[in-house]
Structure 1
Amino acid sequence: MKPPNYREGVIVTATELKQNFGKYLDFVEDQNDVVITKNGNKVARLTPYVTDIEQYFTVREKALDYKYGGKKVSYEEFMEISEKSTLRMEFINGEIYLLGSPTIGHQEILGRLYLWFSDYFKENKCRVFLAPFDVHFKKKDIKDPDVMQPDVLVACDLENNVNDKGRYMGTPTLVVEILSDSTRKKDMVEKLNTYMLSGVQEYWLVDQKQENIMIYYFADHEIDRYKIYEKGDDAQSMVFQGLAANIEKLFADLL
Structure 2
Amino acid sequence: MSSLPHIRLTPDEYLAAERWATHKSEYIAGEVFAMSGASEAHNLIVANLIATLHQQLRQRDCRVYPSDMRVVNPEKNFFYPDVTVVCGAPRFTDDRRDTLTNPTLIIEVLSDSTPDYDRGSKFAQYRRLASLQEYLVVAQTAPCVEHHTRQADGRWLLQETSDLTAVLTLTSIGCQLPLAEPDSSLPYSTR
TM-score (norm 1): 0.64
Say if 2:172 is the partner of 1:236. Answer: no
Q: Report the count of equivalent residues.
A: 185
- Which position in structure 2 is the counterpart of 1:147? 78
Select between 193-202 and 156-165 the one with higher mean Cα deviation. 156-165
Q: How many angstroms apart in 2 are the aligned matches of 1:71 and 1:209?
A: 36
Deviations 1:40-85 (A, max 9, x none): xxxxxxxxxxxxxxxxx97xxxxxxxxxx86543212322331332
SS at match of 2:121: helix
- Which position in structure 2 is the counterpart of 1:205? 137
Change (3 A) 1:93 1:236: farther
Q: How many angstroms apart in 1 are the aligned matches of 2:77 and 2:93?
A: 17
Q: How many angstroms apart in 2 are the aligned matches of 1:92 and 1:221?
A: 27
Say if 2:120 is the partner of 1:189. Answer: yes
Q: Larger Rg: 1 or 2? A: 1
SS at match of 1:176: strand
Structure with more relative contact order (C-alpha pairs < 8 Å, separation 6 or more): 2
SS at match of 1:208: coil
The partner residue of 2:103 within 172, 194, 216 is 172
- Structural RMSD (CA): 2.7
- Which position in structure 1 is the counterpart of 2:25? 89
Identity %: 21
Q: How many angstroms apart in 1 are the aligned matches of 2:88 and 2:189?
A: 36
Change (3 A) 1:169 1:109: closer
Q: How many angstroms apart in 2 are the aligned matches of 1:251 and 1:154?
A: 16
* Residue pairs, 1:1-255, within 5 angstroms: 72-138=8-74, 144-158=75-89, 161=92, 163-199=94-130, 200-219=132-151, 222-231=154-163, 232-247=165-180, 249-250=185-186, 252=188, 254=190
Checking the alignment, whether the CA contact within 8 Å between 1:177 and 1:205 is kept in structure 2 is yes
Supply the AA of the counterpart residue of 2:167: D
Q: How many angstroms apart in 1 are the aligned matches of 2:50 and 2:119?
A: 21
SS at match of 1:198: coil
Checking the alignment, whether the CA contact within 8 Å between 2:167 and 2:176 is kept in structure 1 is no
Unaligned runs of 5+ in 1: 1-56, 59-68, 139-143
Unaligned runs of 5+ in 2: none
Supply the AA of the counterpart residue of 1:211: P
Change (3 A) 1:167 1:241: closer
Instruction: Return the offset for 1:247.
Output: 3.9
Q: How many angstroms apart in 1 are the aligned matches of 2:114 and 2:40?
A: 16
Instruction: Return the offset for 1:96.
Output: 1.3
Q: How many angstroms apart in 1 are the aligned matches of 2:92 and 2:6?
A: 32
Q: How many angstroms apart in 2 are the aligned matches of 1:159 and 1:239?
A: 15
Supply the AA of the counterpart residue of 2:86: A
Q: How many angstroms apart in 2 are the aligned matches of 1:250 and 1:236?
A: 14
Change (3 A) 1:237 1:81: same
Q: How many angstroms apart in 1 are the aligned matches of 2:24 and 2:103?
A: 20
Q: How many angstroms apart in 2 are the aligned matches of 1:208 and 1:149?
A: 17
Checking the alignment, whether the CA contact within 8 Å between 2:87 and 2:173 is kept in structure 1 is no
Deviations 1:120-147 (A, max 9, x none): 1001011001011111222xxxxx3111
Instruction: Return the offset for 1:182.
Output: 1.2
Checking the alignment, whether the CA contact within 8 Å between 2:143 and 2:179 is kept in structure 1 is no
Instruction: Return the offset for 1:203.
Output: 0.2
Q: How many angstroms apart in 1 are the aligned matches of 2:117 and 2:44?
A: 21
Q: Which has the higher helix share?
A: 1
